[in-house]
A and B are shown apart, each in its own frame.
Chain A
Amino acid sequence: MIEETRGSSRLYGLLATIFWCEPDESLLRELDSREIRAIFKSCGITMPAALTHTVDSAERNERLAMEFTRLFVGPGKHVPPYASVQLADGRGNLWGEVTAWVQAYFDRAGFRLPGDNGGIPDHFSLELLFLQHLTASEAGALERGAEEESAALHEVRAYFLRHHLLHWAESFLERVEAAAEEDFYPAFCALARRLLESEAETLAVEAAESG
């Protein structure tokens, strides 16, 4: 249970980084590791070519920067990685009502965004970062045997997933996959999908057990 929660935490952290900014050389090196390969393999997802077939790393880095910018930043048609936009069928405004809800939820859970967050809390990455924080804390509490604390943290995560993130993540990931020109982001979309699916399954199991 502890290892499982730690594993989720690492995965949330990795995905938060991937969807936050274009990958630089050091991140790409980090991704080309035995652990990441194992994760992709265990999920049955093909490693992106950028990680396995690269000859000219400078050219690859530029290509991925271009892909990230085009997909998530603009200018022009892109897939804004924000809940307030995606929940309104991809056409909502930034800083929608849901943004305020997310901010309030973070506040209530005592989660403070890192300083360089760009100011909008319902970014896909910041929500994943929140879940990383919750799962890391939960694993810590489990290790200490602090059952009440770990159960409370689990409940905070479950509520956030059930009532928020699971409502928009899938359609966001689908839009990214449809707009992508490289296989890099679709691979990580698939990974995110697997993680969230397993979270959803766990939640359903829990709901069935308690209900």
Chain B
Amino acid sequence: MAQAPSKPLFGKGPPALAVDILPEETRNGSARRTALVDWPAPIVDGSGVTYNSSGHLLIVGPASTIAAVRPRLPNALSHSFLPTVADTEAAAGTDRSQSEGPGLASKVGVTGHLGAFRVSACWNGRERDVAAVLGLASDETFDLVLDLQRQPAIIREEPPPGYFAPVSETDLAEALTLLPELVGELSKPRFFEHNASVCAHAWRGTIGCTACLDACPAEAIRSVEGLVETDPYLCRGCGSCATVCPTGATRYAQPRSTDLVERLQNLVAGYYHAGGRAPTLLLYTHDGPAGATVREQVSQFAESVLPLAVHDVGSVGIEAWLAALASGASQVLLLFAPSDPLSKREATASQIRVARTLLAALGHSAERTSMIFTDQEFGLVGNELPALVEQPVEILGGRDKRSILQRALQHLVAANDVPHTVTALPPGAPFGILDVNPDACTLCMSCVSACPRDALLGHNGGRLELHENRCVQCGLCAEICPEQAITLEPRFKIGALRETTPVVLNQAEMERCPGCGSPTYPGPMVATVLKKLAASGHDVGHDSTLRRRLLACEDCRSRGRV
């Protein structure tokens, strides 16, 4: 018998926006129709992550709540119940046992995901595995969890698939509708790719960048022995990790940023080619409230507004916005819903702040890149902003996030003949220089080995240099520096975009041999050694034997000339 194909967990949303409902009164309108034909509803590819669910649902909550919901539970599922101590009793510390069954549980813990939830709870202060207590096989897990506790076991912006903790009747009704669909083999793609070799998370046990860990609303990303590990079963594909990643180590794969940028640029080019001018790109999440808002209001938008559905707007990062502006868009708007996870909105907001500072340095107003929200008036009725470039380029190219971003900025600089200024950027921005305290730096070059972007260079004889255009301000160098001599200085130096020669961060004067006067060792290195000796009570004064012998070249020392 042929096996039933796995059902996709995502991507069953509404069809693509019907182009023919868009008004076409101006050249922009007809150009928009032409351009949007090439922008179908987002399809998430592949089935890299598979969940197997036989429909075993665990309902957790106070007995009275379970009793009220029980008649409404979907018949297609098998049910187990975990009655818990009511919140008032839990607060008072009671843990009553009933005469039958294991009694009321407290401190319920849930780990895992759709098809594989492990649940533990406490009875009389003792933690036990719920499946075992309910008399199920020892390796049994639950496929689905409906958590009706007032304080649910998982409090997370994006809980794992298969876990529902409704907070309202509407939520509950929605959960009860969705639950029976989560049976059988379900699959979703891997939304991300990770290249550990350019990741700035850690180096030899020292933790540097934690941007992706902080941004993930599903808590799917962990740091394991210095490596970033993402649990694909928990990942919901919002893309915040890739958006905030300064090095491009974590990349979104649905689609890849390089592919998305190419498509955006083709779209803008197609729009111009069909006679349109100064388009506003409105990027939105296809499924969910933002998509619904766009479909409802799209006919009232100005004809230069191009609504572009993506799987998740949080996955479209700064390199794509700036590449779009550099290829002829006049504005990039990102439509979010207030119900989007806070950390996802924050991730994009932090990048918007960076983008706006970069654009301000190029003389452009803040509104060129904006987040807008479905519950606000965003009246896209008329856009007076001219495009940033007069002659849109078709493809800027770039093999990764950083190079796309740099090419876009270079193009914007060249197209507008911008003076080469230096602008301070907010902390966390991916451009900048390092301030090295010459009194503290011993030129040990630990920072050079730690840099994941090969931005730092160390030269024998004591010179530390930086390729500013490679530095992403990940902070690993500052963390690893044994003398704490490095401070990050996020800034946008327009001139550095094309710089190929590194800047010198610190350079040592060489000490000279007291015997023959030839240069011997870098001054800071000698100073550190002398400081150590002085601390243990030795005389290292200018004419001391110790100092003279330490500074001597090998020749003079072996010949006894010092």
Contacts and interface: CB of A to CB of B under 8 A. Distances in A.
B360 interface: no
B546 interface: yes
Interface string B258-294: 0000000000000000000000000000000000000
Nearest to A94: B446
A62 B205 contact: no
A164 interface: no
Contacts of A96: 204
B550 interface: yes
A188 to B, nearest CB: 18
B522 A75 contact: yes
B538 A73 contact: no
A99 interface: yes
B521 interface: yes
A104 B204 CA distance: 10
Contacts of B538: 61-62, 65
A94 B449 CA distance: 9
B482 interface: yes
A66 B204 contact: no
A65 B536 contact: yes
Interface in B174-220: 203-205
A24 B204 contact: no
Contact of B225 (A74, A76, A104): A104
Interface in B471-515: 480, 482, 511
B118 interface: no
A77 to B, nearest CB: 8
A184 interface: no
A70 interface: yes
Given A75-B521, A75-B526, A100 B205 contact: yes
Contacts of A103: 205
A75 B529 contact: yes
Contacts, number: 61
B444 interface: yes
Contacts of A21: 536
Contact of B536 (A24, A70, A104): A24
Contacts of B537: 24
A76 B536 contact: no
Max chain A C-beta neighbours (<10 A), residue from B204, B205, B225, B536: B204
Contacts of A94: 444, 446
A156 B538 CA distance: 40
A74 B521 contact: yes
Interface in A38-93: 61-62, 65-66, 69-70, 73-77, 93
A93 B449 contact: yes
A66 B550 contact: yes
Interface residues of A, number: 24
Contacts of B450: 95
Given A65-B536, A75-B525, A93-B449, A100 B545 contact: no
A116 to B, nearest CB: 11
Contacts of B526: 75
Interface in B224-281: 225-226
Interface in B533-562: 533, 536-539, 545-546, 549-550, 554
B520 A62 contact: no
B529 A74 contact: yes
Given A75-B520, A76-B520, A119-B482, A69 B446 contact: no
Given A62-B538, A94-B444, A69 B533 contact: yes
Nearest to B206: A95
Interface string A104-124: 100000000000000100000
B536 A97 contact: no
B407 to A, nearest CB: 34
Contacts of A24: 536-537
A75 B550 contact: yes
A104 B532 CA distance: 28
B143 to A, nearest CB: 36
A109 B238 CA distance: 40
A28 B109 CA distance: 60
A98 B226 CA distance: 14
Interface string A1-36: 000000000000000000001101000000000000
A61 B480 CA distance: 34
A56 to B, nearest CB: 13
Contacts of B533: 22, 65, 69
A94 B533 CA distance: 22
- Counting from the closest, the 5 A-B pairs by CB-CB distance are A75-B521, A75-B525, A95-B204, A100-B204, A100-B205
11 contacts: A24-B537, A62-B538, A66-B549, A69-B550, A76-B554, A95-B203, A95-B450, A99-B204, A99-B205, A100-B205, A119-B482
Interface of B: 203-205, 225-226, 444, 446, 449-450, 480, 482, 511, 520-522, 525-526, 529, 532-533, 536-539, 545-546, 549-550, 554
Given A77-B554, A103-B205, 12 more contacts: A24-B536, A24-B537, A62-B545, A65-B546, A70-B549, A73-B532, A74-B529, A75-B520, A97-B204, A99-B204, A99-B205, A104-B205
